[in-house]
Amino acid sequence: MKTLMKSITLILVLISFRSFAQNSDPKFLQATKTGLELIATAKGAEDYLKAENHFERIATIATKEWLPSYYAAYCNLYAGYMTADKELKDQYWDKALLEIDKADALSANNSEIYALKGALQFMKMSVDPRTRMYLMGESAASLEKAAVLNPENPRIDLIKGQDIFYTPEAFGGGKAKAKSILESAVAKFTIFKPSNTINPNWGAEAAKALLAQCK
Amino acid sequence: MQTFKLSLLFIFSFTLAKAQTKISGVLKTTKGIAVANANISLKNSYDGASTDSTGRFAFTTTTTGAATLIYSALNFEKDSVQVNLDHGNLTLNLGIKEALNQLQTVSISAGSFIAGDGKKGAILSSLDIATIAGSRADIFAALQTLPGAQTSFSESGLFVRGGSASETKTYFDGMLVKSPFNATVPDQASRGRLSAFLFKGTSFSAGGYSAQYGQALSSALVLESTDLPEKTTTGISILSVGGGVDQNIRFKNSAITIGGYYYNLSPIYSLIKQQQDYVKAPESMGGNFQYKLKTSPTGMFKIYASYGRTNLSLYSANIDTPAVPKYFSNNNFNIYLNSTYKEYFGNSWKLETGIAYNKDKDAGLLTVNDYSRQDHLLEGKAIVTKSFGQLSNFKFGAETFNTGRLESLNGPARTYNDQISSGFAETDLFLTQKIVVRLGLRGEYSSYLQKYNLAPRSSLSFKTSAHAQVSFAYGRFYQNPEDEYLIIKPTDFEHADHYILKYEINTPNRNFRIEGYYKDYNRLTKIKDGNPDNSGSGYAKGFELFWRDKKSIKNADYWLSYSFLDTKRDFRDFPMMATPSFAAKHTVSVVYKHFIESLNTQFGGTYTFASGRPYVNPNNPVYLADKTQNFNSLSLNVSYLTHVLKQFSVLYLNINNVPGFNQVYGYKYSANGSNRQAIVPAAKRDFLIGILITIGDNTFVR
C-alpha cells in the first residue's frame, strides 16, 4: 500500500510537472485568458499598457513560458500605435523589442515571435525613416525568417500588407501593392487554427478591415 | 487512506478559508507627481494592478504573511517594499525614482557633429547628407552647411574654425585618407573622391576629438562604411556630366560590389560658359571594388579598393601678360585600398584592425614647365577596446604610417619619406548616467622629423535635464607640416590646443546647440626665403549656433547654422599676424527640404551667407587688410521618385546659385600691383541633371 501510494504520488507529481510545461497550469492559463480579455476590450493606449503590465506580471512567475513576453510585446506595439508622442512610441517599442527577444530566448525558431519582431522593427523605422532606413532590412529579414518557419502563419502577410499599405507609393508602398498580400492574409486566416486557446490568434479582423480599404 | 482523504479535505477547506487582502494606494514620484500606467505586483504571485492617471491602484490577493510588493514604470527605477498581509487591508503611499532611459544618457559630444543611421547622438542621417541642395551628394560640400565649417569654392577641403584645409583629416573606417579630393583646377574647389552613398555614418568633429585620431590640427572627419547590402541590385546613374554603374551581389554572409564611372565635362561646358578656357574639359574614369564578409554574428571583414584617372588642360588669364594666357594641364591617377577587420571577443572585448594604402599622382605642364607630384601613404592600425560597467570603456591602440612625396620640375626631383608611429590609450568613464569623462593620451614619433610628441585629450559631459547637456573639452593636437614644406627639409610638429564649451538640447524632432571655443596655435610653419621653420603661431576663437527642426512644418525639415569666427595667424609667407583669406567672420547657412507626397517629389534649398574675406592688396601697406564683398548663394534641388522600365528611379536636378549672385572669393594682383583680377566661381550658375535607377529592388533604398 505504501509503495502504491508513493508511486501514485510520484506519478501525480510527474503529471503536474509535465502539464505545467504544456502550459495547462490552471493558474497560468486563467491569468493568460484574463490578459487576452484585457486586450480584446482595450480601446486606447492606457488599456494596452494595463494589459501589458498584466502579462509582465505573468512573465515574472511563468518564467519558462514564451507567451507572456510575446503578449507584453504585442501590447506595447499597440500602445505605441495609439500614442502620438514619437518619443513614447520609441520607448514602448524599445521595450517591446526587449520582450520579444526574451520570448525568442524561451522559444527558439518560433514563427509568431519573428512575425511580431518584424512588425516592431518596421514601426521603429517609421518613427524616423530618414535615419532608420536600415531597420527596413532588419524587419524584412525577421518576416522572411517567420515565413520560413511557418509559411501558413497568416500574421506575416497581415504585417507585410499593413507595412506596404501605410508606405507612400513613391517609396514602394501603396494600397494597390498591399491588396494582393492582404488577400493572401485573409485567405490564410480562414484556414488558420491555433494549437490551443491561448496561442496567438489575432489579426483576422484587422486584415479584413485593411483589405476593405484597398477596394 | 482515511488520513489521506482527511488531509485533502483539510487542504481544500484551508484554501477556501484563505482571507482576501485588499491592497490599495497611490504611486508618486519623489517630487510628488502621480505616476500612471505603473505595474504593481506581489512577488511570486499573479496578483497585481496598474496605476490609473492619478497614480492610484487597488487589487486583492489571497497571499498571506510577509510579502514583497514590487512597483515599476517606464522611465522609473524598479523598487519594492515589504508588506505583511496578515493584518487586514493595506493602504500604501509609494514613491518611485526617475531613471534615465538610454536616449537620456549623457554622451561625449563637445566639438562633434554626428550624422548616421541608427547612431546615438546622430543629428543628420546619411540620406540628409546626400540630399542637401547645392552639395550634389558631395560629403565635403554638405558639411559646409554645418557650424564650424567655412564655405569654400576656390580651394578643396574643409576649413574648420580658422584652420586651413590641411588641418582637417579624413578617416575611412578609422584609416587616414591621404588624398580625399579629386584632381584640382587652379582656384577651384574639387569634389571628394568618396561617394556619400558608401557611408552609413559621418562624424564631423570641429575640435576636441578622440586620441584615436592624430595628425590633424583642427578637425577630424570620420566616415564609417555601410555593412552588407540588403539585396542583389544594380544601380545605374546617368548624369548630364557622365554616368556610372554599380553591381551589388549579395550572398548569405558576404557581398561584392563592383562599380565603374565615366565623366566628361565637355558637353556641359559647351552649354555653361566657364571662366577658364578649356583645351580639354575634365574627363575622368574609374572603378571600385568592395568585398564585405560577416565572419561571425559580430565580426566583419571589409575591403574597399578604387582606381581613378582624370585628364584636363586649360588656359587661364595671365594678369601680368594678358596676351599670353597661362597654360595648365593635369593628369591625375589615384589608387586607394582600405581593408578592415572588426570582431568582439567574449562580452567585453573588441578588436579593430586595418590596413590602408593611398597613392595619388599628378603630372602635367605648368605654362612651359613639366611638373609631377606623387603622394603615398601606407598605414596599419590596431585598436583593442574593453567595455566595463554598463557604458564605460577603455581602449588602446597603435598605428604606423609610411608617408611621403616625390616631386619633380623639368627633370630634377626631390623626395621625402616619413614613418610616423603612434600609440594611444583612452577611457570613457561614465561616473553616473549623467556624467561622463573621457581621458586620453596619444604619443607619436616621426622618423623624418626625428621628434616625439605627447598629446593629452580630455572631455567632460554633464546631463542637465532629460534633453539637455553641457560639455567641455580640452585637447592638444599635433600635425606634421604640409608636404610642400617637409620636402624642403624636416622641421618640427605644429600644434594647437583646443578649449571647447557646449550646451545642447536634443529631442527627436528638434536640436539646438551653442558652442564656444578657443584655439591656440603654436609652432606653425613659416617660410622665409624658401627656408621653412616653426616660428609661426596664431589663435582662433568664436561661437556657433545650430538649430534643426523636423516638426514645425509638415513634411519639411530645415536646419540653420551660424558661425562667428575671430582668428589671426602668422604662418606660411605671412609678414605678420593677420586674418587668413579663408576665414570669414560670419557664416550662415540654411538648409530646407520639403517632401510633397502627391507629387512624389522632394524640393530642397540651401542658402549660404559669408561676410567678406580678407585678401592681399599689394597697394595697401597693411597685410590682408582688404575684404571682399559679402558672399551669397542660393541653390535648389528637386528629386522626383518614379519608375523607369518598372525599376525604382530618382530624377534629379540641382541648380547652384539660382539668383546669379555675384560671388567673389578674392583677388589676384599683377606683379606691379596695378592690375587685379577677381577669383570667382567657374560659372555664375551651374546645373546638374541626372537619373538614378535601381534594378532588383522594389523599395526606395538610396
pLDDT tens-place string over residues B441-468: 999 999 999 999 999 999 999 999 888 9
Residue B401: strand pairing partners = B379, B420
Q: What is the 3-state secondary structure (H, E, C) of B367-401?
A: CCEEEEEEEEEEEEEEEEEEEECCCEEEEEEEEEE
**Is pLDDT of B405 > 90?**
yes
Confidence of residue B654 (pLDDT cuts 50, 70, 90): very high
Q: Do B117 and A134 touch (CB under 8 A)?
A: yes
Rounded CA-CA distance B168/B310 in Å is 24
Tracing cell 590640427 back to the chain, one arrives at B217
Cα nearest neighbour of A1 on chain B: B1
Q: Do A131 and B116 touch (CB under 8 A)?
A: yes
pLDDT at site B127: 75
Cα nearest neighbour of B47 on chain A: A57
**Is pLDDT of A152 > 70?**
yes
Measured CB to CB, residues of chain A less than 8 Å from chain B are 1, 5, 27, 31, 46, 49-50, 53-54, 56-58, 60-61, 86-87, 90-92, 94-95, 127-128, 130-137, 140, 168-172
For residue B28, the one-letter residue type is K
Sort strands B168-172 and B79-84 into parallel, antiparallel or unpaired.
unpaired
Q: Degrees (nearest 5) of the Cα angle B690, B692, B697?
A: 165
Rounded CA-CA distance B159/B154 in Å is 12
> Which range has the top average pLDDT, B94-98, B173-177, B270-274, B316-320?
B173-177
| Candidate from B45, B117, B597 with C-beta closest to A133 | B117
Distance from CA of A143 to the nearest CA of B (A): 14
For residue A157, the one-letter residue type is D
| Candidate from A31, A53, A130 with C-beta closest to B127 | A130
pLDDT at site B2: 52
- Give residue-wise pLDDT tens across range B50-76: 999 999 999 999 888 899 999 999 888
Rounded CA-CA distance B542/B499 in Å is 11
pLDDT at site A26: 87
- Give residue-wise pLDDT tens across range B310-327: 999 999 888 888 888 999
The set of cell numbers assigned to A210 is: 485593411
**Is pLDDT of A207 > 50?**
yes
The set of cell numbers assigned to B125 is: 542621417
Instruction: Check: CB of residue B519 under 8 Å from CB of residue B161.
Output: yes
Average pLDDT, chain B: 90
Residues of A in contact with B1 (CB under 8 A): 1
Cα nearest neighbour of A173 on chain B: B699
The set of cell numbers assigned to B131 is: 540630399
pLDDT at site B345: 93
- Give residue-wise pLDDT tens across range B230-268: 788 899 999 999 999 999 999 989 999 999 999 999 999
Q: Do B117 and A127 touch (CB under 8 A)?
A: no
Q: Residues of B303-335 as b/e, b for ≥16 C-beta within 10 angstroms? A: bbebebebbbbbebeebeeeeeebbbbbbbbbb
Distance from CA of A129 to the nearest CA of B (A): 10
Furthest C-alpha separation in chain A: 79
Residue B476: strand pairing partners = B497
**Is pLDDT of B114 > 90?**
no
SS3 B148: coil
pLDDT at site A94: 93
**Is pLDDT of B522 > 70?**
yes
**Which ipTM value was assigned to this complex?**
0.84
Q: Do B600 and A130 touch (CB under 8 A)?
A: no
**Hey, of A131, A135, A163, which one would you mutate to test binding to chain B, going by the most B CBs within 10 A of its CB?**
A131
CB pairs under 8 A between A and B: 90
Distance from CA of B600 to the nearest CA of A (A): 5
SS3 B274: coil
Instruction: Check: CB of residue A27 under 8 Å from CB of residue A19.
Output: no
Residues of B in contact with A61 (CB under 8 A): 44-46
The set of cell numbers assigned to B698 is: 522594389
**Hey, of A133, A135, A144, A167, which one would you mutate to test binding to chain B, going by the most B CBs within 10 A of its CB?**
A133
Helix axes A67-81, A26-40, angle to 10 degrees: 10
pLDDT at site B605: 96
Tracing cell 532588419 back to the chain, one arrives at A138
**Hey, of B3, B15, B50, which one would you mutate to test binding to chain A, going by the most A CBs within 10 A of its CB?**
B50
E strands in B597-672: 601-610, 614-615, 626-627, 631-644, 647-656, 666-669
Higher-confidence position of A147 and B124? A147
Cα nearest neighbour of A177 on chain B: B698
The set of cell numbers assigned to B689 is: 541633371
SS3 A93: helix
Instruction: Check: CB of residue B223 under 8 Å from CB of residue B172.
Output: yes
Q: Do A90 and B508 touch (CB under 8 A)?
A: yes
Handedness of CA A96, A98, A103, A107 (dihedral sign): positive
Rounded CA-CA distance B698/B228 in Å is 18
Describe the strand order of the beta sheet including B56-61 as a list of residue ranges. B56-61, B21-29, B90-96
Instruction: Check: CB of residue B57 under 8 Å from CB of residue B32.
Output: no
pLDDT at site B481: 96
Residue A120 backbone phi and psi in degrees, to 5: -65, -40
The set of cell numbers assigned to B150 is: 567655412
Distance from CA of A68 to the nearest CA of B (A): 12
Rounded CA-CA distance B477/B176 in Å is 16
**Is pLDDT of B135 > 60?**
yes
pLDDT at site B505: 94
Total number of residues shown for chain B: 702
- Give residue-wise pLDDT tens across range A88-147: 999 999 999 999 999 999 999 999 999 999 999 999 998 887 777 778 888 988 999 999
- Give residue-wise pLDDT tens across range B656-681: 999 999 999 999 999 888 899 999 98
- Give residue-wise pLDDT tens across range B140-185: 999 999 999 998 878 888 999 999 999 999 999 999 999 999 888 8
**Is pLDDT of B120 > 50?**
yes
pLDDT at site B103: 58
Cα B586 to the chain's mean position, in Å?
Answer: 22
Higher-confidence position of B587 and B681? B587
DSSP one-letter code for A63: T
Confidence of residue B77 (pLDDT cuts 50, 70, 90): confident
Measured CB to CB, residues of chain B less than 8 Å from chain A are 1, 4, 36-39, 41, 43-50, 53, 74-75, 101-103, 116-119, 122, 124-125, 127-128, 200, 230, 507-509, 557, 597, 600, 641-642, 648, 698-701
Rounded CA-CA distance B116/B701 in Å is 15
Q: Do B700 and A170 touch (CB under 8 A)?
A: yes
pLDDT at site A14: 45
- Give residue-wise pLDDT tens across range B464-518: 988 899 999 999 999 999 999 999 999 999 999 999 999 999 887 899 999 999 9
| Candidate from B37, B47, B600 with C-beta closest to A170 | B600
pLDDT at site B11: 47
Rounded alpha-carbon distances, angstroms, from residue B686 to A14, A57, B181, B634: 82, 64, 20, 11
Residues of A in contact with B41 (CB under 8 A): 53, 56-57, 60
In percent, how much of chain B has pLDDT > 70? Answer: 95
| Number of helical H runs and strand E runs in chain B | 5, 38
Rounded CA-CA distance B330/B360 in Å is 12
| Nearby residues of A101 by Cβ (< 8 Å), 6 or more positions away | A117
| Nearby residues of B290 by Cβ (< 8 Å), 6 or more positions away | B255, B256, B257, B258, B302, B303, B304, B305
**Is pLDDT of B15 > 60?**
no
Rounded CA-CA distance B466/B508 in Å is 12
In percent, how much of chain A has pLDDT > 70? Answer: 89
| Number of helical H runs and strand E runs in chain A | 10, 0
Rounded CA-CA distance B297/B287 in Å is 30
Q: Do B74 and A92 touch (CB under 8 A)?
A: yes
Q: Do B508 and A86 touch (CB under 8 A)?
A: yes
Rounded alpha-carbon distances, angstroms, from residue B2 to A1, B5, B14: 13, 5, 18
SS3 B529: coil
Rounded CA-CA distance B419/B449 in Å is 9
| Candidate from B46, B125, B127 with C-beta closest to A57 | B46
Rounded CA-CA distance B158/B563 in Å is 14
Instruction: Check: CB of residue B420 under 8 Å from CB of residue B488.
Output: no
In percent, how much of chain A has pLDDT > 90? Answer: 67
Confidence of residue A162 (pLDDT cuts 50, 70, 90): very high
Q: Residues of B476-511 as b/e, b for ≥16 C-beta within 10 angstroms? A: bbbbbbbbebbbeebbbbbbbbbbbebebbbbbeeb
Rounded CA-CA distance B395/B439 in Å is 11
Confidence of residue B116 (pLDDT cuts 50, 70, 90): confident
Higher-confidence position of B406 and B6? B406
Confidence of residue B3 (pLDDT cuts 50, 70, 90): low
Confidence of residue A21 (pLDDT cuts 50, 70, 90): very low
| Candidate from A31, A137, A170 with C-beta closest to B230 | A137
**Is pLDDT of B699 > 60?**
no
SS3 B396: strand
**Is pLDDT of A37 > 80?**
yes
